Amino acid sequence: MAGVNVKEITLIVIVVVACYWNSLSCGFVFDDVSAILDNKDLHPSTPLVNLFQNDFWGTPMSEERSHKSYRPLTVLTFRLNYLFSELNAVFYHLLNLILHSLVCVVFLKVCKLFLDSESSLVASLLFAVHPIHTEAVTGVVGRAELLSSIFFLAAFLSYTKSKGPDNTIVWTPIAVAVFLVAVATLCKEQGITVVGICCIYEVFIAQGYTLPVLWGTLMQILRGKGSIPYSVLQSLLKLIVLMFSTLLLVVVRVQVIQSQLPVFTRFDNPAAVSPTPARQLTFNYLLPINAWLLLNPSELCCDWTMGTIPLVESLLDIRNLATIVFFCFLGSLIVFSVRYPGDSSKAVLMALCLIVLPFIPASNLFFPVGFVVAERVLYVPSMGFCILVAHGWRKLSSKSRLKKLSWICLVVVLFTHGLKTLHRNWEWESEYTLFMSALKVNKNNAKLWNNVGHALENEKSYERALKFFLQATHVQPDDIGAHMNVGRTYKNLDRAKEAEDSYMIAKSLMPQVIPGRKYAARVAPNHLNVYINLANLIRANESRLEEADQLYRQAISMRPDFKQAYISRGELLLKMNKPLKAKEAYLRALELDELNADLWYNLAIVYIELKDPTEALKNFNRALELNPNHKLALFNSALLMQESGDARLRPEAKKRLLTYIEEEPQDANGYFNLGMLAMDNKKDAEAEAWMKKAIKLQAGFRSALFNLALLYSQGGREMLALPVLEELLHHHPDHIKGLILKGDILMNQKKDINGARKCFEKILELDPNNVQGKHNLCVVYFEEQDLLKAEKCLVETLALAPHEEYIQRHLSIVRSKIVTLNASGQSSLPAGGGITAVEEEKKTLFENLKDRETVQRATPSTNSNLNKGQSKKQLDKNSSGKETKKKSTKEIKDIEKKRVAALKRLEEIERILNGE
């Protein structure tokens, strides 16, 4: 880079690193959370085109809640960071540090156009260490300022080369400048203001005009005493090109935001909604406030909204003197810079251009902004300030009496500013340290109290968070968000009554509906979440479901495009057993966001409720097309395939479950269902391995323990099944099927009749009407050769199930045997008599036991973030693994086949016992 030597670059980089090295230890704080942690546009799975359709925070520009900040190139750099380091904050901060160093070097080159080398280096060093830049450099979202500034300065440098010999026009630098302006604007909106700087440079610097000369030339032309000079014509042509390019960029920008301004509330910028003259007086007073921050950055604050700066409501307010002094000083500098020729006036003019023009988008001059003061928007204006300071320092140091003093002052300023920047970086280490440091500067900003509460809430310190949220409501009693935060914290503390009261206060503060006036334009979109939060709270009470539904419908009536209201209402309607209405709600939400995988998943759950597994599977597949790693869709679609009984779907079901356990390696349910699939495929060894993995992850996993025991029993390894059943019954002593299986093994394999009886008696204690347990106890009596007791037992069992033919047959057999024994004068069965037959009978009867237990969960998912700290619904972790009551068609057919086989076998037993 011509004009900037290696020593200067090295010095600047060293100074920047010395001031900002500790920023590498900072995390993601404040706006970083929304722009990076919660922004899906950073993920590789998100189509790249989304970056050019969404705003800086990942919200579609078409949505009214969008911030309308269109910075796709900045988001692209975040995405590249994510690609190489995901969410490792160190690399995000490192890139910001590198970009700030680059800005300082390019700024040095610009300074050398108007200042001598020594003054230019002073200006660049002062810019490098100025504490006002910590928000732009240490705050990751400040990258928008850094990137925009690089292309902003590069565009200006390119334009300065557009003047050729004999005042000819060199078009290539102009074309490059226009391109760089467009790139700067795609990094941040203020990039377009460099066009104004180029225009002023062209007239007053490149052509060397002063205001009196221009005025004289214009008067001569109007009086017809002279023609337009060639240099003026050349400048006019260049300015027309610049203006046309700017107009084109503005038109494109307006189209991108769909001719809509973002919605801000009086809490974001109180002056913007204040009446005359408070609005004008306050906006003008904010200018000296910003100037003071540049001059004396001793008290910095990350958030200047709400009550930080009280409104200037009267002409008699003493603060108006600051405004008057500021405009007098600014006016005198402007007059000096445009009236008198010379290098000094040129330096002052370009410094003023850099201060004023880039600040215009944040000045509320053309449209209201969402803040009162924002330190990061002073990043480019501070360049002009640094040029002014460096130029003034040169004037002082050129005088021999003040030279030594000026150098001492310069060193002190650079050293103190560097220390302040270093200290300020530590304050940006975490959200708690950042907002607590802000409260030291200003205690009248309710948003700061809220943000400290959010930081504590994220650490699960709800009691401490509640104190800060309550203080926010005291500082700003009409702050809707503060009351919502109080309500949410009460809910987290399981204090439902206080939570509802707080939500009701927030709801009462909402603006009333005015007929014929669009409601959405008068309230912040996130404030409508009070209806969602209140409805979510009260719907826990089954008697208030209709009341909750009314709140969802009220939110929808206020904002028909309120997607989250449709999602939450769909969940409620499912809970109310109204799947058709739930389907309508989700379809409406899909009209608003058809690329939302969670919505397709929720619709699949509705189809499961509607007993339409085919459509459910289609919607699960649609969700997985949009998000191949959607855990809920992977898990539940695999279960749906598994339960369909279609062997052709099993490989895909297994594939999805394997993907699921990659995403959730600690969820035992994934391994359990892989085991069930292996059982379906008759792969006993594989099934055993998966079941053991599930049990290892979740001790006492009910379904896994039972099915592993059943697997051993079916494979003829009953002795291995017994300790598994012991573990099952240790954790779940009321597991009836486990008791039946254990009784079977004890009686048939270990010949422990007494142990078997205890199992069946335990079943009847748990469920006196359990037919299978009662019948098996009757078999025990028969095995013990107590025919009378067996007869009585079977009579009682028949009373419980009068239509069960096999019980009637067994009762007939026992009675026939009693008659036979009585006739022969025997008091008991002969040794071994009928035992084999009874064992065969029991073996057949226990076939009905071998019915699989499964775990299925179908939980609607939501992609909203209603309040800070609230996250998506996760899988319903049914650790008990309760057996599903509903069986698939295939399972029912298998059971019927076994029942028919059992009846045939009973006929054979009857013939054997009758001596046929």
- DSSP result, 777-789: HHHHHHHTT-HHH
CB atoms within 10 A of CB 61: 18
For residue 819, the one-letter residue type is V
535-544, 585-594, 890-899: segment of lowest average pLDDT? 890-899
Could you give the 3-state DSSP secondary structure of residue 446? helix
Asked if pLDDT for residue 827 goes beyond 60, the answer is: no
* pLDDT (0 to 100) of residue 881: 36
Of 699, 733, 738, which is closest to residue 722 (Cα–Cα)?
738
Could you give the 3-state DSSP secondary structure of residue 560? coil
pLDDT digits over 102-138, tens only? 999 999 999 999 999 999 999 999 999 999 999 999 9
Token duo for residue 861: 């998912």
Please name the residues in contact with 895: beta carbons below 8 A apart, sequence gap of 6 or more: 848, 851, 887
| pLDDT, average across residues 82-89 | 92
Q: Is residue 131 part of a domain?
A: yes
Q: Is residue 461 part of a domain?
A: no
Q: Is residue 651 part of a domain?
A: no
Rounded-to-integer distance, Cα 72 and Cα 78, Å: 10
pLDDT digits over 266-298, tens only? 667 777 778 888 889 999 999 999 999 999 998
| pLDDT, average across residues 209-221 | 81
Asked whether 283 and 309 are in contact (CB, 8 A), the reply is no
DSSP letters of 112-151? TTTS-HHHHHHHHHHHHH-GGGHHHHTSGGGHHHHHHHHH
CB atoms within 10 A of CB 767: 14
Rounded-to-integer distance, Cα 697 and Cα 699, Å: 6
Could you give the 3-state DSSP secondary structure of residue 60? strand
Rounded-to-integer distance, Cα 176 and Cα 164, Å: 15
**362 pLDDT tier (thresholds 50, 70, 90):** confident
Q: Which residues pair with 491 in a beta bridge?
A: none
CB atoms within 10 A of CB 227: 10
Token duo for residue 529: 């979440």
Q: Higher confidence at residue 415 or residue 368? A: 415
- Expressed in percent and rounded to 5, the helix, strand and coil fractions of the chain are 70, 0, 30
Asked whether 373 and 293 are in contact (CB, 8 A), the reply is yes
* pLDDT (0 to 100) of residue 916: 38
Number of domains in the chain: 1
pLDDT digits over 740-782, tens only? 999 988 988 888 889 999 999 999 999 999 988 888 889 888 8
Sole residue written with tokens 């010095």: 11
pLDDT digits over 687-739, tens only? 999 999 999 999 999 999 999 999 998 888 989 999 999 999 999 999 999 99
Please give the share of the chain, as a percent, with pLDDT higher than 90: 53
Q: Is residue 387 part of a domain?
A: no
**257 pLDDT tier (thresholds 50, 70, 90):** confident
Burial letters 631-660, b for 16+ CB under 10 A, else e: bbbbbbbbbbbbbbbeeebbeebbebbebb
Please give the share of the chain, as a percent, with pLDDT higher than 70: 86
Q: Is residue 799 part of a domain?
A: no
Q: Is residue 503 part of a domain?
A: no
Q: Higher confidence at residue 206 or residue 322? A: 322
CB atoms within 10 A of CB 439: 17
* pLDDT (0 to 100) of residue 716: 87
Rounded-to-integer distance, Cα 338 and Cα 414, Å: 31
Backbone angles phi, psi at 60, to 5 degrees: -55, 135
| pLDDT, average across residues 547-567 | 89
Token duo for residue 748: 């048939």
| pLDDT, average across residues 309-318 | 90
Of 350, 369, 387, which is closest to residue 189 (Cα–Cα)?
369
Rounded-to-integer distance, Cα 893 and Cα 727, Å: 31
228-242, 517-531, 870-884: segment of lowest average pLDDT? 870-884
Rounded-to-integer distance, Cα 519 and Cα 500, Å: 24
Q: Is residue 695 part of a domain?
A: no
* pLDDT (0 to 100) of residue 488: 94
**518 pLDDT tier (thresholds 50, 70, 90):** low
Asked if pLDDT for residue 857 goes beyond 70, the answer is: no
Q: Is residue 182 part of a domain?
A: yes
* pLDDT (0 to 100) of residue 904: 47
- CA distances 143 to 54, 66, 623, Å, are 18, 20, 34
434-443, 684-693, 866-875: segment of lowest average pLDDT? 866-875
- Which H/E stretch holds residue 566? helix 563-575
* pLDDT (0 to 100) of residue 828: 52
Calculate the CA dihedral of residues 753, 758, 760, 762 and round it to 10 degrees: 180
Of 461, 434, 431, 454, which is closest to residue 28 (Cα–Cα)?
431
| Segments forming the whole domain that contains residue 190 | 6-257
Rounded-to-integer distance, Cα 739 and Cα 377, Å: 72
Sole residue written with tokens 């939302």: 596
* pLDDT (0 to 100) of residue 434: 93
| pLDDT, average across residues 811-830 | 75
Average pLDDT of every residue of the chain: 84
- CA distances 846 to 78, 82, 162, 580, 712, Å, are 62, 57, 95, 42, 14
Asked if pLDDT for residue 821 goes beyond 90, the answer is: no
